[in-house]
Chains A and B, each alone.
Chain A
Amino acid sequence: MSSILTVLFNGVAYGFLLFIMSVGLSVTLGMMNFVNLAQASFSMFGGYVKVTAMQSFGVPFLASLPIVFIVIGALSIVVERLIFRHFYNTDDLTQVLLTIGLVFMSIAIATYAWGGTYQRIDMPSWLTGQRDVLGLTLETYRIFLIAIGAAMAIILVLGLERTQLGAMVRACVDNRRVAGACGLNTELIFALTFAIGGGLAGLGGALSANLLGLDPNFPLRYLVYLLIIVSVGGMGTISGTLIAGLALGIADVMGKYYFPQFGGFVIYVLTVACMLWRPHGLLGRQT
């Protein structure tokens, strides 16, 4: 019994990580219909920024997280203004190919800047080891991840439901042209959303570095997972992304633990079945 709960717990922690990495992709996809596979590269660079900040500049772990968020958020604004905004009116396939091209380039850049090997990450002592919670022995770092992930999910949902920027974002997701006609500066809103989404992706990468390993092939390894989460959850919904992220995290960890011989098989079959059943995702709107 306790082993099931521990596996479930690990799955939830993993799911929150995947949620943080993919939520920006989901919102930008819902808003601008822009398929940004380079989101996975933002995550990778987030991991590298954290490693560099901690090892070269001696920044403590907690302080490095906001730095990652700001740096990667700024980077995504630059990329959006320079490249992506010229591709908003093209079809899905062009966007997929453009951003896959950028992923390839980011892999080479990361190899050039940080080398092709896995990065060693030193965690502060208060985040290592295990703790006993309610009779279960749980890894401290995963508890920390769940706490941060849950906090992020609450902040994002409240921010989208209760703040003015959130209302503007929802208006743009619903109907960008009408929102623009009502006097909203949709370009600015989109750039801001993009920056927040990119910053979150970077944060997800930084948080995942010591669990999932960080090397230049990180984007290719997690690209498919991000795509699955976004399309299963339904684009443009935060709760859908959360549900899909948690489901994928739990299914993946449980699958690897109980049925190691099947590997990723279960996840792919579930994804295909889900997409055939609801082509717009679980919580996606039928258009």
Chain B
Amino acid sequence: MSAIERLTPERAKAATGYFARLARWNVYEILFWLALAGMYFVPNVDLVLMSQIFIWGLFAMSLDILLGYRGIPSLGHAAFFGVGAYVAGYCGKFGWTEPISALVLAMAIAAVVGWLTGKLVQRVTGVGLLMVTLGLNLILYDLVHRSTDVTGGDDGMQGIVIAPVLGLFRFDIFGRTAFWYALIIAFILFVIARAVVKSPFGLALVGARENPRRMIMLGAPVEGDVSRAFALGAALAGAAGALLTQTTQFVSPNTLSFQRSADVLVILIIGGTGRLYGGFIGALVFLILRDWLAAISPVYWYFWIGLLLVVVVSFFRKGLLPSLETLLNRWKPSKADGPTA
């Protein structure tokens, strides 16, 4: 087999240059993360709520890999979150109290589950795909919910012990350690996810989202990429689940519920897909709004969440972040080059 065009050093250099340009950090990104870290110093800020926002943001970002970059809508993403949460819970319960290695283990197991899910669904599309992912989520929920003697059932798992992070920082009731732990883990995983989506692999995912047939013609392993995208998304979701278990020292079947799968989709859509930041923005808006609405109208807050959803899909069809970008780009001359992903 002969290559159609030889990969000369010049061409390789041009390609590397393209990806390097794609991966460059801009000032808004740096400001965004500094602002999140800065929240710690805002007086009277609810640190527990903030760490919840980081966890949900990371979780929504993991769905973004699948939905935003590969175009696979999953109605069962909480399954991976729950796998991570339970793995971290078992670790804490049976003596593996060191949090960071437990988190890595949770990610690895969630990645395997995700990879297998990807293998299973890589040929299904459309409503069938929604139903299979939803069904797998419901099966897992039912299993965990019913195996009372193994998982604690509805009451959740008690007696989870988490050692201080790096042996220095104990998880305190004010959520100070939880804040920094969740933020730093979320940031590290964000950097990894960012590097992946801006690599040739990320570009192949976007290509398969736009036109799978053409990507097959180009020789891209489209079906294998689906499993790999599922594995990556599941690993990140598992990390978010493990973070929730470790910061709250508790895990219940709630982590696997359909409600959570729907909520994470809502968060991502509010924020906007295909940007990685959409999940974090969406989590910020959704959780703060939910906290506030639940306080002012404890019975009817669902009405407002529903209305928010209807308004977002009606008027900001791509989510808040992309709509904002369009607005900004209208003011300043376009300097876009290459495909935006």
User: Which residues of A pack against B, CB within 8 Å?
Assistant: 29, 35, 83, 86-87, 90, 92-94, 96-98, 100-109, 111-112, 116, 224, 227-228, 231, 235, 261-265, 268-269, 271-272, 275-276, 279-280
**CB contact under 8 A between A107 and B309, given known A263-B146, A265-B142, A279-B124:** no
- CB of B135 within 8 A of CB of A275, answer yes
Number of A-B pairs, beta carbon distance below 8 Å: 121
B309 to chain A, nearest CB (A): 3
- CB of A224 within 8 A of CB of B130, answer no
**CB contact under 8 A between A86 and B310, given known A116-B299, A224-B138, A265-B139:** no
**Within the complex, which residue of A94, A108, A231, A271 is in contact with B300, where a contact is CB–CB below 8 Å?**
A108
A-B pairs, top 5 by smallest CB distance, nearest first, are A104-B306, A101-B309, A108-B303, A279-B128, A105-B306
**CB contact under 8 A between A268 and B303, given known A261-B146, A275-B132:** no
Cβ contacts under 8 Å, B123 to chain A: 279
Contacts of B128-153 to chain A: CB distance below 8 A: 128-132, 134-136, 138-139, 142-143, 146
Is B125 an interface residue when CB atoms closer than 8 A count as contact?
yes
Interface SS of A by simple majority: helix
- CB of A102 within 8 A of CB of B306, answer yes
Is B3 an interface residue when CB atoms closer than 8 A count as contact?
no
**CB contact under 8 A between A90 and B317, given known A104-B303, A265-B143:** yes
| Cα of A109 to Cα of B308 in the assembled complex, Å | 15
Is B305 an interface residue when CB atoms closer than 8 A count as contact?
yes
Is B302 an interface residue when CB atoms closer than 8 A count as contact?
yes
Cβ contacts under 8 Å, A109 to chain B: 303
A81 to chain B, nearest CB (A): 15
| Cα of A102 to Cα of B311 in the assembled complex, Å | 11
Write the chain A residue with the least CB distance to B309: A101
| Cα of A127 to Cα of B8 in the assembled complex, Å | 83
**Within the complex, which residue of B135, B139, B305 is in contact with A104, where a contact is CB–CB below 8 Å?**
B305
Interface SS of B by simple majority: helix
- CB of B258 within 8 A of CB of A224, answer yes
16 contacts between A and B (CB under 8 A): A90-B313, A92-B126, A93-B269, A96-B75, A97-B265, A100-B306, A102-B310, A105-B303, A107-B303, A108-B306, A228-B135, A231-B128, A263-B146, A265-B146, A269-B139, A272-B136
Is B266 an interface residue when CB atoms closer than 8 A count as contact?
yes
Instruction: Please classify how large the interface on chain B is, using the bins under 10, 10 to 19, 20 to 34, 35 or more.
Output: 35 or more
| Cα of A235 to Cα of B260 in the assembled complex, Å | 27
Cβ contacts under 8 Å, A263 to chain B: 142, 146
A284 to chain B, nearest CB (A): 9
A250 to chain B, nearest CB (A): 19
- CB of A100 within 8 A of CB of B309, answer yes
**CB contact under 8 A between A280 and B309, given known A108-B303, A111-B300, A272-B136:** no
Is B127 an interface residue when CB atoms closer than 8 A count as contact?
yes
B312 to chain A, nearest CB (A): 8
Bitwise interface map of B from 102 to 136 toward A, beta carbon under 8 Å scored 1, else 0: 00000000000000000011011111111110111
Is B334 an interface residue when CB atoms closer than 8 A count as contact?
no
**CB contact under 8 A between A268 and B131, given known A90-B317, A100-B262:** no
B116 to chain A, nearest CB (A): 13
**Within the complex, which residue of B127, B139, B302 is in contact with A108, where a contact is CB–CB below 8 Å?**
B302
Write the chain B residue with the least CB distance to A235: B127
Cβ contacts under 8 Å, A29 to chain B: 127
Bitwise interface map of B from 189 to 216 toward A, beta carbon under 8 Å scored 1, else 0: 0000000000000000000000000000
